[in-house]
Structure 1
Amino acid sequence: MGRGDLTNDEWMRLEPHLPTSGGRGGRWCDHRAVINGILLRVRTGAPWRDLPDRFGSWKTVYGRHRRWSADGAWDRILQAVLADADASGRMDWSMVSVDSISYRAHQHAAGAPRRTPRVPKKRSTPRQHRADEGPGRSRGGLTCRSHLAGAGGRRPLALLITPGQWGDSPQRIPVLDRIRVKRPGGGHPRTRPDHLGGDKTDSSRRNRRYLRRRQIKHTIPAPKDQRANRRRRGSRGGKPAGFDKEMYKRRNEVEHTIDQLKHARAVATRYDKRAYVFTGTVTVASIR
């Protein structure tokens, strides 16, 4: 077993959730070697062609990663891993925080053709496909951004890839709508945390109205201009938003989650041209 490969315990927990059929060609074989090759590339950021021979053909490794990114297999595996953690009591729903991650896009991530890529499956458009492919221009140059909802214990729950110049606040509701953790006994999946933490960029009427409608308790500091505007309006400004300093201290958990994800060099720097492939890369790091 090489450095960074799946341990026997990790493989036993992951194997039941892997796809079993590759389509008309029959069953896939040697999933473990291919996934170890994908993990090596995600961890090191090496070009696919430079993968060691012990993982097999680099085309097989890249092709399986691309296909599972396109048809949502990595998303389903992540949801299965989260469901297992929730069933065993290892999920901390008491505080879920949202934040964004900025990624510098490598020059190899630019230049994707402006067309919908062909996917060898019934789905005509890949999951997480973007017509603009994600990279955008900002002060940092060519960047993209990932909006993340993370639970306690460094567990990513949901993520959304956008261009780097897009704001954080408008993406909070879409990323919260992506939280779906299946329950062990069946029924509706869990989509609502006990408490939500955010920063000042999340303090908008739209976001707070959404959280109140879903009856989600939240700790979000109000910016100085919003507090001044409320005081200026007097009684019409309404009551100030509640703020729990002790709960807000736990927001560093999502910062630790982000730091852990960016230990993977293919996540910290985007090398993938296609948005759905890069989303799969971040999802693999989240699964690990």
Structure 2
Amino acid sequence: MRVRRHELTDHEWELLTPLIPRAATGRPRVDDRQVINGMVYKIRTGISWRDLPERYGPWQTVYTRLRRYALHGVFNQALQQVQAEADAAGDIDWPVQIDSTIVRAHQHAAATGRKGGASGDETDDHALGRSRGGLTTKIHLACDGKGRPLAILLTPGQRHDSICARPLLERVRVPRTGPGRPRCTPDRVVADKAYSSRGFRAYLRKRGIAHTIPEKIDQRRHRQAPGRHGGRPPMFDPETYRRRNTVERCFNRLKGFRGIATRYEKTATSYEAAVTLASFLIWARSV
């Protein structure tokens, strides 16, 4: 099959096809690969749904199926499956970097009716918040040592990183290909000063996770003020911290998808599905 630009390769389709739900009855469906190629083209280029090329079928079909897959967690399952196979092969580096990035919401995304409250799995704010840049969404990301997404979390743009550190790490869940519980505990967490707090360090110690997080200047002053009674400084390895740019490179890969770099989707569910699909493609092209 001839593969056009911004479409699934044969290898990516082989990884994804077992997870695609298929109806047993009903009228003939538009080909699944054709429809998913339309989704990939959409998030790669950031075009409007109505401008989707006709070769992918009716745009309403592509959009409806994206919503259906998002609600059923199809892309989450695909991402976990490729992570599980990589972990079984010893291909995941478990020192994990965490960080966040701001994404500007396009006026089409900002036009959603947010006053009606939550509906189903959707939050009442749709992960849209007000910050200096206007309406924005923040993507919180945990990636492995090779710069591949392990977990994502969407929040409104003004949400502070430290508040979201725990729920982000709790989303790290790599299943086993055989028996055994999923792996949820990194060897080490590497993060910047935004995550420097006693509460978060205590949380990591409780879970047995080492960390490399620089101490804020004001925290150092408060600790040093009582003299030796202020306690010892947290362990910090500058050589390990130099590798923190791995998470920045991961963000660059994600934002290579124009539909991720700017948010056009009205609902957080659809936008998270797009980010998850992009994460799956990053993994699929690295294994």
What residue identity is the alignment partner of 1:11?
Answer: W
**1:61-80 matched pairs, under 5 angstroms:** 61-80=62-81
Q: Distance in 1 between matches of 2:229 and 2:208?
A: 23
Task: State the match for 1:106 in structure 2.
Answer: 106
Q: Distance in 2 between matches of 1:29 and 1:152?
A: 39
Task: State the match for 1:274 in structure 2.
Answer: 267
What residue identity is the alignment partner of 1:89?
Answer: G
Which segment is superposed worse, 99-108 or 20-29? 20-29
**1:1-288 matched pairs, under 5 angstroms:** 1-16=3-18, 18-22=19-23, 25=26, 30-93=31-94, 95-113=95-113, 114-115=115-116, 125-126=120-121, 129-288=122-281
Size of the aligned set, in residue pairs, is: 278
What SS is found at the alignment partner of 1:3? Answer: coil
CA spacing shift, 1:208–1:28, aligned 2, 3 Å: farther
What SS is found at the alignment partner of 2:189? Answer: strand
Q: Compute the displacement of 1:285 (Å).
A: 0.9
What SS is found at the alignment partner of 1:240? Answer: coil
Indicate if the aligned counterparts of 2:118 and 2:124 stay in contact, CA closer than 8 A. no
Q: Compute the displacement of 1:210 (Å).
A: 0.5
Scaled by the length of structure 2, what TM-score is found?
0.92
Q: Distance in 2 between matches of 1:196 and 1:213?
A: 13
Indicate if the aligned counterparts of 1:20 and 1:27 stay in contact, CA closer than 8 A. no
What residue identity is the alignment partner of 1:110?
Answer: A
Q: Distance in 1 between matches of 2:144 and 2:272?
A: 19
Q: Compute the displacement of 1:71 (Å).
A: 2.4
Indicate if the aligned counterparts of 2:263 and 2:271 stay in contact, CA closer than 8 A. yes
Q: Distance in 2 between matches of 1:240 and 1:265?
A: 42
Q: Distance in 2 between matches of 1:92 and 1:27?
A: 44
Identity %: 48
Q: Distance in 2 between matches of 1:116 and 1:280?
A: 21
Once the two structures are superposed, what CA deviation does each residue of 1:230-270 show, in whole Å capped at 9, x if it has no partner?
A: 00022231110000111111111111000100010110000
Q: Compute the displacement of 1:185 (Å).
A: 1.6
Q: Compute the displacement of 1:22 (Å).
A: 3.8
Once the two structures are superposed, what CA deviation does each residue of 1:178-206 show, in whole Å capped at 9, x if it has no partner?
A: 01000122221000111110000101111
What residue identity is the alignment partner of 1:65?
Answer: L
Q: Compute the displacement of 1:287 (Å).
A: 0.8
What SS is found at the alignment partner of 2:273? Answer: helix
Q: Distance in 2 between matches of 1:46 and 1:221?
A: 41
Scaled by the length of structure 1, what TM-score is found?
0.92
Q: Distance in 1 between matches of 2:151 and 2:15?
A: 20
Q: Runs of 5+ in structure 1 lacking a partner?
A: 119-124
CA spacing shift, 1:143–1:21, aligned 2, 3 Å: same
Question: Aligned-pair RMSD on alpha carbons?
Answer: 1.7
What residue identity is the alignment partner of 2:165?
Answer: R
Q: Compute the displacement of 1:135 (Å).
A: 1.3
Indicate if the aligned counterparts of 1:261 and 1:286 stay in contact, CA closer than 8 A. yes
